[in-house]
Amino acid sequence: MYQFIENGSVTVPKGFKASGVFCGIKKKKKDLALIYSDTPCIAAGTFTLNKVKAAPILITRDIIEKNQKVKAVLINSGNANACTGDPGHKDALLMQKWCAESLHILPEEVLIGSTGVIGQKLPIEKLFSGINHAVENLSHHGGMDAAKAIMTTDTKIKSFAVCIQLNGGIVTLGAICKGSGMIAPNMATMLGFITTDADIEKSLLQKILLEAVDISFNKISVDGESSTNDMVLLLANGQSGISINESSDDLIIFVEALNTLCKEMAKSIVSDGEGATKLVTISVKNAKSKNDADLIGKSIANSSLVKTAIYGADANWGRILSAAGHSGAEIDPTKVSISFNELPVLLPNFNLTLDENSAHKILSLPEYVINVDIGLGSGEATWWTCDLTEDYIKINSDYRS
């Protein structure tokens, strides 16, 4: 019913263009991205829960909450424009206004995002010339350039597209995202931009985005830090001519594709975590409730002790059980079972079945699953995390150099 498109990006859906250029915020690499739709878009968004919010977050959230249609998203990297007070807010508005004038649209039709170092003033003059350059370079093939331009400490381009066969015809989803550090499950934990040529009304678009984010971006952890600039935006321009509504049979198919896309985006962020060498799925089952399963999964995913054990391929199941125990969820440690992939290491009543050599082989793989059966109910949750390495410290100790 749907399939991923090789080398896909935000420009795969009909009517979308993008560009990514160098404007001088960074020393050499692309640092300004622009996504543009030929026709107005319905926009949905989710934003960081950090009480310290960057100026672009406040401006973009306000536009989306007012239910305004938009045509463009402008994103700079290398500078977060966070904790910059009134001057930073004015710079964000200037950035938005200049882009709008260059595109011959209204300022409120431009959403903005920033990522990078906190507390530094935007080099606004460089941005002005960069915006002109980005507008000139808009292309139906510019999605990969946009994906490169939003990267900070990322080591991999994160760009995707999905083709969806609906009863009414074909629609597509495109996406780019960035994220490597300051990743914690507190919405949205990164920057993500999704486009679609489906026709969906605002309240439904917002609803399905929130649901998709909850099972993907809100279930990942690299370092337990929630950024000041996190957002996920979803733009729908309707150019496919295919409408999706609450009563449509196509809604189930579209939602499944969107959920899968968001999970792949989220996993790409964790696997590219700063200094990370492993992507680990944490599968919690049979908790007393879904909320308890989430609490346990989050606690394990965020645990520095678990993450360092992952790095060392150390079958230290005690760290996993300890993280579950201080999660705040109801737990009876005598009922807990833990396994690595299909290899059991702990059974109820602290019955140890650990085979150190077999466990070490699994824990040395680049991807594997930690299964935690709580044995108290039917609540389930899936989370994704990565290891914590020496390189994480190195990257973050000289990030601004």
Name the residues annotated as catalytic. Answer: 189
Q: How far apart are CA 50 and CA 178, in angstroms?
A: 18
Under 8 Å between Cβ of 368 and 341: yes
Q: How far apart are CA 366 and CA 212, in angstroms?
A: 26
Cα Rg, the chain, nearest whole Å = 22
CA-wise closest residue to 278 among 383, 382, 362, 387:
387
- Which letter, b or e, does each residue of 164-189 get, where b requires 16 or more Cβ atoms within 10 Å of its Cβ? bebeeeebbbbbbbbbbbbbbbbbbb
Could you give the residue ranges of the DSSP H alpha helices within 35-114?
55-65, 85-103
Identity of the amino acid at 307:
K
Under 8 Å between Cβ of 117 and 400: yes
Two tokens at 65? 């909450």
What does the chain come to in residues?
401
- Helix (H) / strand (E) containing 321: helix 317-325
Q: How far apart are CA 137 and CA 127, in angstroms?
A: 15
Residue 111 neighbours by CB distance under 10 Å: 28
CA-wise closest residue to 290 among 381, 211, 370, 359:
381
Under 8 Å between Cβ of 122 and 79: yes
Under 8 Å between Cβ of 2 and 256: yes
- Which letter, b or e, does each residue of 355-367 get, where b requires 16 or more Cβ atoms within 10 Å of its Cβ? eeeebeebbeeee
Peptide bond preceding 188: is omega within 30 degrees of 0, i.e. cis?
A: yes
Under 8 Å between Cβ of 206 and 44: yes
Two tokens at 244? 């999706």
